[in-house]
Amino acid sequence: MKAALTFLAPFFLAACATTPMADAAPAPAGTAVALGQAVTVGELVLTPHEVVTDSRCPINARCVWAGELIVSTRIDGPGWRETAELKLGEPHLAHGTSVMLSSGEPGRMAGAPETSPEDYRFTFE
């Protein structure tokens, strides 16, 4: 029995060392989070998963249309889970609770390369 535990110990320890960021405790509301990192908003836990579109007007340009940022976000509540595409600055009603993607950084710059998904940070309220 002791030999079996000694043999299996490295496998259990390795599993602990590779815990994904999504399994970490959610950050408090108002904290800027990366894709896959959870944040609490009231009783809900929001986890941004994918930038669906980022067509915002570059900071250093003049545009006719402001563009939009849409982020596919998992929303977990007491006894339920849904995925919604949250649009920057627009409230989303999730089971009677309003949530909103309030910021998405970095902003776009004209002439700069496209933002990598891992560089984005999102704030929800």
pLDDT per residue as tens, the chain (125 positions) = 455 444 444 444 444 443 345 467 899 888 999 999 999 999 999 999 999 999 888 887 788 888 899 999 999 999 999 999 999 999 999 999 999 999 999 987 777 888 889 999 999 99
Contacts (Cβ under 8 Å, ≥6 apart) of 105 = 32, 120, 121, 122
25 φ/ψ sector (left φ>0, alpha ψ -120 to 50, else beta): beta
